[in-house]
Amino acid sequence: MTRIETDSLGQVEVPEQAYWGAQTQRSLSNFAIGTERMPIEVLHALALIKKAAARVNNRIGDLPPDVARLIEQAADEILHAQHDDQFPLVVWQTGSGTQSNMNVNEVIAGRANELAGGKRGGKSPVHPNDHVNRAQSSNDCFPTAMHIAAAKAVHGELLPALAELSGGLAELAARHNKLIKTGRTHMMDATPITFGQEMSAFVAQLDIAERTIRQCLPAVYELAQGGTAVGTGLNSPHGFAEAIAAELAALSGLPFVSAPNKFAALAGHEPLVALSGALKTLAVALMKLANDLRLLGSGPRGGFAEVRLPANEPGSSIMPGKVNPTQCEALSMLACQVMGNDMTISFAASQGHLQLNVFKPVIIHNLLQSIRLLSDGCRNFNTHCIAGLEPDPVKIDHIEEPWIKATVLVPDAYLGPVLALCEERRGVQQDLTYAGSRAMVVYRLPLNEVVFDFYDRLKSVSRGYASFDYQFDSYATGDLVLMNILINGEPVDALSVIVHRGEAERRGRALCERLKDLIPRQLFQVAIQAALGGRVVARETVKALRKDVLAKCYGGDVTRKRKLLEKQKEGKKRMRQFGQVDIPQSAFIAVLRMGDA
């Protein structure tokens, strides 16, 4: 069954059950391309615009109250997803999104006329152009809907999902912060690191991506509505742009404002390009996360096998018992898609010719797909991978450190200090021979005791006469522990070091003493602590700067002086609880040179 609808080109047959009219039906016939429908988020955003416009037009007397009420009622039904099947148009249509704007206009008018007691569809008492689209153009409605849909998707889906994944990784890092393992650079074994530190890098990367996304949002909040056809605001009343932006902000709960330059808002899409770039930043971080966990979980016999990935499903149809890193693979695939979407968005946004960019549907289609994939990916990866991931204690039950075979030639007069230095660095003497007035001593030494300052110390104790050479010897199990440095009660990861258990207290004291000299005095007392787990092995205190609060007190008013001193004491106590300590760069360098102590 069909009915007849009309537009400026004539009559069109429309399905009887459809709320849409002639222009939607023409688009269905003229653009039978692909299966990608216009994102429903955009259509809901257009419905929100029509509701806000009806309120503003009614308020200024340009729309009868009964018509405004019918438009709002029909728009609310769309916003509650009651008519999603009434929006059949594809992405591949006119580049301004005109057909989708008219699709929404016709559906609202068709449903409003039905609510008024008439038949479905038609143009009376509510007309899709004269009433629903009043003071609007597709050229400002569609870019406004793009911004609204993107902002709502970021706030409603992406940021909460990102917080879930970041929280899951942070909990994993905290739970295994003391588990020491081998760090790797260039895919080769490097110095030790804790599993918690390794996971904390991902938390920091996701935090950077989140901040980048949030920084893009203020520009996305700027709306093109009110610019109408070319940005001049033709056929919209004075103040309409600001009024509808305020109405949209109130309806959505997001801080939308009117774009300061409507010509740019119609002709370009830089805010969405920037947002897409921020989404790509997140995709890059997720790709790194997926690839690293895939490597760490490889095995179980021929790979790293340092983490146990959850077994969500059988990994093979021919190899029973095999478990594959499927969550990592899915996350890395969607990251690739987001990166590709960003390329499409960048090229499409660059094609704004004169007063209008006509690649709008493909821009918002790709942007919303990126947001959707990243949101679902973060939430799914946290639930099905991070929540069940555990480091394998069989593979990370001890840490091996590289040892070297060191040969030192030194005059007899300085042999004693050289031997003392080697012993201090956990050296094991292998050989000692004499050649005239010179001695050649051979030691096995841990490499990490040599790399920073051993050569400088050797030259110092021998007054420059000693010569030094070494070669790799072997790996040996080391009794290494993580020593955390706490400043004002808060751990500072960049100052924490992995040290030999037997040297922990000495190095902790030396580092605290050095940091005490390097951290400037604050208005409150600052505690510097070195801790192994929950046990503090060393502490120093940076005394507070003291302000003379009694300077203006004359005479012998002891009570007033006591009150001032008590008030100062309470203030310092509060500052110690909430104050930030500025740590100079030299303090971080001191960690690398702590062997000088």
Catalytic residues, by residue number, are 186, 316
181: helix, strand or coil? strand
Contact present, 420 and 558 (Cβ < 8 Å): no
Residues 428/405, Cβ–Cβ less than 8 Å: no
- 478: helix, strand or coil: strand
Cβ–Cβ < 8 Å for 363, 351: no
- The answer to whether the bond into 125 is cis (omega within 30° of 0) is yes
Give the Cα separation of 386 and 382 in Å (integer).
5
Q: What residue has token string 């299966």?
A: 35
Contact 446, 425 (CB under 8 A): yes
* Secondary structure of residue 488 in the 3-state scheme: coil
CA distance linking residue 501 with residue 481, whole number of Å: 6
Considering only CA atoms, which of 474, 537, 457 is closest in space to residue 503? 537
456-468 CB burial, b ≥16 within 10 A, e <16: ebbeebbeeebeb
Q: What are the residues whose beta carbons fall under 8 Å from the beta carbon of 480, sequence distance 6 or more?
A: 180, 192, 399, 401, 498, 499, 500, 501
Paired residues of 190 in beta bridges: none
DSSP-derived secondary structure letter, 256: -
Specify whether the CB–CB gap between 248 and 335 falls below 8 A. Answer: no
The partner residues of 390 in beta bridges, in order of sequence, read: 308
The torsion region of residue 442 among left (phi > 0), alpha (psi -120 to 50) and beta comes to: beta
**Residue 389, SS3?**
coil
According to DSSP H, which parts of 350-496 are helical? 360-384, 415-424, 454-461
Name, in order, each residue with C-beta under 8 angstroms of 3's C-beta and a sequence gap of 6 or more. Answer: 13, 14, 15, 16, 119, 121
Cα separation, 506 vs 511, whole angstroms: 9
Packed helices 585-592 and 504-518: angle between N→C axes, nearest 10 degrees: 160
In 253-325, where does DSSP find H-type helix? 262-267, 270-296
Q: Cis bond leading into 300, ω under 30°? A: yes
Structural tokens at position 174:
């905290």
